[in-house]
Amino acid sequence: MENPEIGKQKPACGMASNCAFMIRRTWKECRGVLSVCTGLIFCGVAASLLELFVVPSILEAVERGVGPGELLRLIAWFTLGMVGVRALREYLDTNAIFGRITVRSSLCLELHMTFCRTSFPHTEDPDYIKRIKKASKCLDSNDDAGEAIWQTMADLLTNLISFAIFLLLLCRVGPWVALLCMALSAASYFAGERIRAWRYRRREEEGALLHKMAYAMDRGRDMKLAKDIRIFGLAPWLTQLYEKYTRLYQDFFARSQRYYLWADLLDAALSLLRNGAAYGLLISMALRGELGAAEFVLYFTAVSGFSQWVTGIFSKLGELHRQSLELSVLREVMDTPEPFRFEDGKPLPVKENHLYQLELRDVSFRYPGADHDTLSHVNLTIRPGEKLAVVGKNGAGKTTLIKLLCGFYDPTQGQVLLDGEDIRQYDRRDYYKHFSAVFQQFSTLAGTMAENVAQTTGDKANLPRVWDCLDQAGVADKIRELPEQENTKLGREVYLDGIDLSGGQLQRLMLARALYKNAPVVVLDEPTAALDPIAERDLYQRYSDLTGHCTSVYISHRLASTRFCDRVLLIENGGIAEEGTHESLLKRGGRYAYLFELQSKYYKEGAMEDE
């Protein structure tokens, strides 16, 4: 069903503003685009005038009885002019693309940077993600708004200038001929446009169908799913999905083609009416002797040309309007206000000893759109250098607590403080510099092992430090065995000679990366999830050395892993249910002790069964 809102959305920026935006951007990035456009407009107008006047001028010369020499000269001049204009247009057309691509690339880069640098809550906001996707669509190819707008603007101006010239010419025959041509051309355009707009309004429906088709196709090719597809026999399911959406898309396409057919038929009928009336008048004037042969041909050509300009103006305006809507989405996304302060925030005080105190003061947090708080009135002070463990059931809010501490979200109530100062006043990117982390999802990039650890290109990485961190994380031996050691490329998505590491090895590589950053606060979110029990034990034993003097926050669902921490927090029901050392919590005999007992019983039973 058609979404009534789609056609009614009011863009934040109008057409004139979007054209001005593109001109400003081009002035900054590549001024040549503007000269090329001007050249193309000149060529368009000149070509139409030459075509209009060539035959009438020759006829007029013949009527005047000029000699063959002059006639040939006239023909030669016209031919030369037409060839010259055509050659210039071809040359500009061929070269126009380079500058336009430069401008589009700069917009692509800005959009990419916008998403990489925007406040974290945006990255989890489905509406923002949808808008980013929509915005990037207008920069996808040469035919999308971010580039095609230049052609549209040049065509529109060519149409407007030619229209003005033809109008002056037709007014000489009689203003009502011009009026009739204009009215019927406009009627034909608007009737057609109503039908074409049908498809435009349904672009979301079309987009959704194309997206689903692509989804089914991409899943089938996804390397990560290859094993599941084979084990669970998913191929027929994916094929059925693909076929289903292809069928739906074909139906949609057939419907839209029917609409187009009606538009074309209507256009043909109105053209017949328009040209019939105008040509009829010209013929009757010629028969009455009011027009000579040359004038007759001139006006005859002008009538068909005139409607072409009128239709051209409307159609290019429609195109410009659509492109402007798409550019408006792009600009809205790029100008979306940031909830966090960045460059305008205060710089963070830097301490050589890395000892900072973190505090959550009466913090409550509710995810946007949720109906309850995930965390409620939490008070927590993490002392400089403290090793804190956060435990609790799945969904208790452990990761959310970390997101607040790291400054990924601001609390909905209360404050996060660094050395007693609210972190909202600081440049948030400066604040992130104080944190290092191993998150649950592996976030390696296609690059060498050294680049992944140092998060910079190979030659800028401090190799002795890279190896030291790999050693501490317990993955150095594995890297030494690789064909090119630290220069071995990770991942095969980009490099044919890239290699894949196991989940545990990747987790250790991520740990090495966290150590390399040498930040004051280290956050480890289930860092042993992909490790085997021996590797897990090894990590626990070396935890103090690994985190050194840093403050560290360690999230785990394995309660036994918290022994080596100074303090344990048990998160339940949106708050800190219990806190203390592992031993004190066991002695207390509360929820922590109960959960610990449950887990160790399970592991012991499991171990006995294994034996």
Residues 6 or more apart whose Cβ sits within 8 Å of residue 149: 18, 19, 22, 320, 323, 324, 327
In this structure, how many other beta carbons lie within 10 angstroms of the beta carbon of residue 425?
11
Output 544 or 573, the one with its CB closest to ligand ADP: 573
Q: Is the dihedral of CA 96, 102, 103, 105 positive or negative?
A: positive
Query: 4, 337, 395, 483: which one contacts ligand ADP (CB under 6 A)?
Result: 395
Q: Does 367 bind ligand ADP (CB under 6 A)?
A: yes
Q: Smallest Cα–Cα separation from 299: which of 312, 316, 315, 284? A: 284
Q: Does 162 bind ligand ADP (CB under 6 A)?
A: no
Q: Which pair of tokens denotes residue 3?
A: 């979404």
Q: Does 400 bind ligand ADP (CB under 6 A)?
A: yes
Query: 56, 318, 385, 397: which one contacts ligand ADP (CB under 6 A)?
Result: 397
DSSP annotation string for 182-200: HHHHHHHHHHHHHHHHHHH
Q: What phi and psi, each to the nearest 5 degrees, are found at residue 51? A: -65, -35
Q: Does 122 bind ligand ADP (CB under 6 A)?
A: no
Helix axes 32-64, 145-173, angle to 10 degrees: 30
Q: Does 394 bind ligand ADP (CB under 6 A)?
A: yes
- Residue the block writes with tokens 């060498």: 448
Q: Smallest Cα–Cα separation from 385: which of 515, 517, 520, 516? A: 520
Site string for ligand ADP, 79-118 (x = CB under 6 A): ----------------------------------------
Query: 370, 445, 494, 598: which one contacts ligand ADP (CB under 6 A)?
Result: 370
As a whole number of angstroms, the distance between CA 42 and CA 142 comes to 23
Say if residue 609 is exposed, middle or buried (CB neighbours under 10 Å; 0-12, 13-18, 19+). exposed
Q: Does 353 bind ligand ADP (CB under 6 A)?
A: no
Q: Which pair of tokens denotes residue 289?
A: 């002797």
Residue type at 395 in one-letter notation: G
Contact segment (CB under 6 A) with ligand ADP among 278-286, 330-338, 340-348, 366-374 equals: 366-374
Q: Is the dihedral of CA 210, 213, 215, 218 positive or negative?
A: negative
Min dist CB 440 to ligand ADP, Å, is 9
Output 331 or 403, the one with its CB closest to ligand ADP: 403
Min dist CB 397 to ligand ADP, Å, is 4
Min dist CB 24 to ligand ADP, Å, is 37
Min dist CB 565 to ligand ADP, Å, is 17
Q: Does 564 bind ligand ADP (CB under 6 A)?
A: no
Output 177 or 396, the one with its CB closest to ligand ADP: 396
Q: Does 398 bind ligand ADP (CB under 6 A)?
A: yes
As a whole number of angstroms, the distance between CA 141 and CA 41 comes to 23
Output 267 or 373, the one with its CB closest to ligand ADP: 373
Output 146 or 392, the one with its CB closest to ligand ADP: 392
Please work out the total of residues on this chain that contact ligand ADP, with binding judged by CB under 6 A. Answer: 12
Say if residue 32 is exposed, middle or buried (CB neighbours under 10 Å; 0-12, 13-18, 19+). middle
Output 170 or 569, the one with its CB closest to ligand ADP: 569
388 secondary structure, DSSP code: E
Say if residue 363 is exposed, middle or buried (CB neighbours under 10 Å; 0-12, 13-18, 19+). buried
Min dist CB 374 to ligand ADP, Å, is 4
Contact segment (CB under 6 A) with ligand ADP among 11-19, 173-181, 277-285, 398-406 equals: 398-406
CB 327 within 8 A of CB 145: yes
Q: Does 447 bind ligand ADP (CB under 6 A)?
A: no
Contact segment (CB under 6 A) with ligand ADP among 108-116, 242-250, 337-345, 397-405 equals: 397-405
Q: Does 562 bind ligand ADP (CB under 6 A)?
A: no
Provide the CB-side half-sphere exposure for 519 (13 A, CA). Answer: 22
Contact segment (CB under 6 A) with ligand ADP among 171-179, 297-305, 392-400, 430-438 equals: 392-400
CA distances (Å), origin 84, targets 77, 90, 165: 10, 10, 21
Element of type H or E holding 125: none
- Residue the block writes with tokens 């956050």: 523
Q: What phi and psi, each to the nearest 5 degrees, are found at residue 584? A: -65, -35
Min dist CB 217 to ligand ADP, Å, is 28
Min dist CB 537 to ligand ADP, Å, is 23
As a whole number of angstroms, the distance between CA 273 and CA 278 comes to 9
Query: 146, 312, 392, 527: which one contacts ligand ADP (CB under 6 A)?
Result: 392
Q: Strands 521-525, 567-572: parallel, antiparallel or unpaired by DSSP? A: unpaired
Min dist CB 396 to ligand ADP, Å, is 4
Q: Does 576 bind ligand ADP (CB under 6 A)?
A: no
CB 569 within 8 A of CB 390: yes
Q: Does 399 bind ligand ADP (CB under 6 A)?
A: yes
Min dist CB 124 to ligand ADP, Å, is 4
As a whole number of angstroms, the distance between CA 217 and CA 222 comes to 9
Contact segment (CB under 6 A) with ligand ADP among 100-108, 218-226, 390-398, 455-463 equals: 390-398
Contact segment (CB under 6 A) with ligand ADP among 30-38, 177-185, 245-253, 387-395 equals: 387-395
As a whole number of angstroms, the distance between CA 299 and CA 291 comes to 9
Query: 110, 124, 127, 140: which one contacts ligand ADP (CB under 6 A)?
Result: 124
Min dist CB 218 to ligand ADP, Å, is 24
Q: Does 396 bind ligand ADP (CB under 6 A)?
A: yes
Output 401 or 475, the one with its CB closest to ligand ADP: 401
CB 397 within 8 A of CB 406: no
Q: Which residues bind ligand ADP (CB under 6 A)?
A: 124, 367, 370, 374, 392, 394-400
